[in-house]
Structure 1
Amino acid sequence: MNTAEPARLVWYKSSYSGNEGGECLEVAADVTTVRIRDSKKRGDSPQLAFTRGAWAGFVADLGRAGF
């Protein structure tokens, strides 16, 4: 897993997240990788990096589980 962050990622937070500073994740994607980070610690937050295929499988499993 490559955790080096590309120079220009656009991070997105869920539209369900408010501005109250709750527990939120942000997601960004490049050509090969989907990355997740803690929205409260943007600059110094560790990131999880997934291949696009692994991310698609994860999201599909969430849908089947009813989340």
Structure 2
Amino acid sequence: MILARRLSKERPNDGILLNACCPGWVRTDMAGEAAEKSPDEGAVTLVYLALLPPKITEPHGKFVSDKEVKLW
């Protein structure tokens, strides 16, 4: 949140959104087979954020999981 605020202040015309995101518990070598999401399912939020339309101003400085802003 602090870095997002700084980015907005120092580069207000760049239109860059800065967020934190969590893919969830993803089946990987580290998480194991018991994890609830496949790698493809874990990537959904990351891809969603990467492909937000131009000129959009939110979310910015937020924590996003399952394509929703979460309180933290």
Which structure has the bigger radius of gyration? 2
The interval holding the TM-score normalised by the smaller chain is under 0.3
| TM-score, structure 2 normalization | 0.23
More strand by share: 1
| TM-score, structure 1 normalization | 0.24
